[in-house]
Amino acid sequence: MMAIAFLFCIFLSRFLYVQAFWKEELLYRALDQWTREIPVVAERGKIFDRNGELLAGNGTAYSVYARANAVKDREESARVLSALFGGSYEEMLSKLSDRSRSEITLVKQAEKSFVQRIEGTNLPGVYYARDNRRVYPYASLASQVLGFTAMGSEGTTGLEKYYDRFLSGKNGEILYETDLVGVELEGASAAYLPATAGLNIRLTLDYRIQAIAEETMGRALATSSAKAAQCIVLDPNDFSILAMVNLPSYDLNDPPREDLSALNALSRNSLVSDIYEPGSTFKIVTAAADLEEWRRGNAAALSPSYVFASSRTRSVDGTSIKCWSDHKNGKHANQTLAEALNNSCNPCFVDIALALGKETFYSYLEAFRFGRATGVDFSGEAVGMLIPEGSVRDCDLARIGFGQTIAVSPIQLACAAASAVNGGYYYTPHLLEEVFTDDGYVSERVGKTLVGRTVSEETSRLLSGMLEGVVRDGSGKHAYLEGYRVAGKTGTAQKYENGQIAQGKYVSSFVGYFPADAPRYLALVIVDEPQGSYYGSTVAAPCAAEIFKGIIDVMGIAPFEGGEG
C-alpha cells in the first residue's frame, strides 16, 4: 500500500510540474503543430539627418516560404521555383526536403512580380509574405556611418547596428489552422498578430555638409592619387557630428556582400576605429597646455613672448630632433610661440614638452582624453596608443610634443582641438539627436554632455588668435577665406611599417575652424599617402577651405563686419 501511495505521489508531482512549468512550452508546441504561420515583417525605423532629410528608408520586397510536410511533390516544386527565381534546382530540392524545421525560407527579398507567379503554379505548402528592403536614397552618402542591414532586417554595420534596438520593430504573424502535416484546413479562420514598427532616429549629420565634404575629399583622393581621404566636421559648441567622410566608399543599396574582404574594408569607419600619428596638428594640444600653465603661473611654462633658441636641432637622450626647414633667409630664425605655430617648428614644441615635464604634460593628455575612448555613439572606437607615464623617457616626451610617438584616432584629435578652442569645454561627441515615432512623439533626445574642462576660456582665446595667424600668415595659408576668420593647424606625418619609417609615405592633414573668435564649424581633413606634393599645407588645407566655403554658401553665412565676401 505504501508503494502505491508513493507512486501516486510521484505521478501527481510530475503532473503538477508539467502543468506549472511546461505549460507555455507545450501550448507553443501544440500551436506549432496545428497552425501555419505567415510572418508579418515589422517595418524598420527610418533614419533622417538633422534637417529631416531621409537617409535610410524602406521598400517592399517579398519572401517565399514552405512547409516541407505540406509540399506534395518536392521535385516538381523545386523545378518550378528554381526556374522562377533563377536558383539551383538541387539547392531548392534540398530545402524542400528538410523536415527538421516546420517552416523553411526559400527566397528572400524577391520582387512582387516574381512571387505573384507562385499563385498560378498550384504548389501546395509554398506561400509568400511581404518583407522589408532597406533603401538608401543617397546611395553612398555617409555609407560607413549609416551602415547596412542583413537583407533588410537586422542591422549589420554602422548606426544600423549600433541603434538596432530602436530601429528594429517586432514582427507579427498570421496564423492558419492546419492538419498534422501542415495542410491548411478548409474553412479555417485566421488569427492576425500585428507587427510593431521600429522607431525612427534623427542624426546630427547634415546631408548638405556631408555631400560638400564627400565631393571635396573625392577630388583630393583623385588628384593626389591617395590611398584614402577622410574628413570630420563637427560643431565645437556641443561636439555634434555634422559630417563623417571615409573614401573610398560604396553604394549602400548594393554592398559587395560576395567579397567579404572588400566589404569589411569599405564599410569600416576609420575615423573612429583606426589610429595614426597626428604629426604637427597635435601641436595645438601642446600649445594649449603651455599657455594654460603660463596663465596659472607655472614658472616652467614658456610665455607667449618667450623667444625660442634659433638652433634648428635639439638633442634629447642622445637623439637628434631637427626642424623640417629653415624659416628665414636660409637660417633657422628666433621665434615666439605664435611664430613657432606659423612655421610648425618641431624643436620649439620639444622645448615646451620638456619644460612642462612628464607629470604636467601627461595631466593635459589625460584631460584631452588621449589614450581613452571619447564615448562617441559608434561601435569599435579605438583608444589610441599612449606610452604609460611611468615608462615615458625624455626623448619620448619630446616627440609627443610635436605629434610623434603617440597614436590617436581622428575623432580623438578633432574633439581635442575643438575643446582647445571652444573655451576649454570637452563634450561627448555624438551622432544621434533624437528617437521618435511616425506620429512625431519623441521618446529620447540627446543633448550635449559635458565631460570636463581642458583649459580656461582665456587660454582658448589666446590660442585661437595664434591659430588664426597660422592661416593668415603661416603654413595654413591655403585655408584662408577672405572676409571669414579661419584658424587652424597643418600636419605632415611620416608613416611607419613594421616599426620602420616607410619611405615616401605620408599622412597630410589639417584641422581648422571658423569663425576663429566664436567657432561654429571645425573640420579635420586627412589625406593618406598622397602622391607628389604631400605637405598638409598644400594637400589638406585647401580641402578645408573648400568645405568651409561650401558651408558658408549653404548656410548663407555673411562675412565679418568690414570683411569682403
The β-bridge relationship of strands 228-235 and 200-203 is unpaired
Of 213, 158, 252, nearest in space to 414 by CA: 213
CB neighbours of 74 closer than 8 A, spacing ≥ 6?
68, 93, 96, 97
Residue 419 phi, psi dihedral angles, 5° rounding: -65, -35
What pLDDT was estimated at residue 47? 98
Distance, in Å, from the CA atom of 399 to the CA atom of 272, rounded to the nearest integer, reads 24
The residue annotated as part of the active site, out of 168, 267, 280, 475, is 280
Burial grade of 262 (CB within 10 A; 0-12, 13-18, 19 or more): middle
Residue 314 is placed in which grid cell?
635639439
Q: Is 220 within 8 Å of 245 (Cβ atoms)?
A: no
* Sign of CA pseudo-dihedral 243, 246, 251, 253: negative
Q: How many CB atoms lie within 10 A of CB 25?
A: 10
pLDDT attached to residue 31: 45
- Bridging pattern class, strands 200-203 and 47-48: parallel
Looking at this protein, which amino acid is placed at residue 298? N
Cis-peptide into 515, omega within 30 deg: yes
Give the whole-angstrom CA distance, residue 146 versus residue 208.
Answer: 15
Report yes or no: 165 and 31 within 8 Å, Cβ to Cβ. Answer: no
Distance between CA atoms of residues 93 and 117, nearest Å: 19
| Strand, coil or helix: 267 | coil
pLDDT of residue 181: 46
Which is nearest to 143 in space by CA: 218, 239, 68, 38?
218
Is the bond leading into 124 cis (omega within 30 degrees of zero)?
no
User: Per CATH, the architecture of 207-555 is what?
Assistant: 3-Layer(aba) Sandwich (3.40)
- For the chain, 565 residues long, give each residue's pLDDT as a single digit of tens: 666 655 665 655 655 554 555 555 444 444 444 455 667 778 999 999 999 999 999 988 887 888 777 788 888 888 888 887 777 888 888 888 877 776 788 787 777 777 777 776 778 878 777 778 899 999 999 999 999 998 767 899 999 999 999 999 888 876 656 554 444 545 555 566 788 899 999 999 999 999 999 999 999 999 999 999 999 999 999 999 999 999 999 999 999 988 999 999 999 999 999 999 999 999 999 999 999 999 999 999 999 999 998 888 999 999 999 887 765 555 567 899 999 999 999 999 999 999 999 999 999 999 999 999 999 999 999 999 999 999 999 999 999 999 999 999 999 999 999 999 999 999 999 999 999 999 999 999 999 999 999 999 999 999 999 999 999 999 999 999 999 999 999 999 988 887 788 888 999 999 999 999 999 999 999 999 999 999 999 999 999 999 999 999 999 999 986 554 3
3-class secondary structure for 228-269?
EEEEEEEECCCCEEEEEEEECCCCCCCCCCCCHHHHHHHCCC
**Is 475 annotated in the active site?**
no
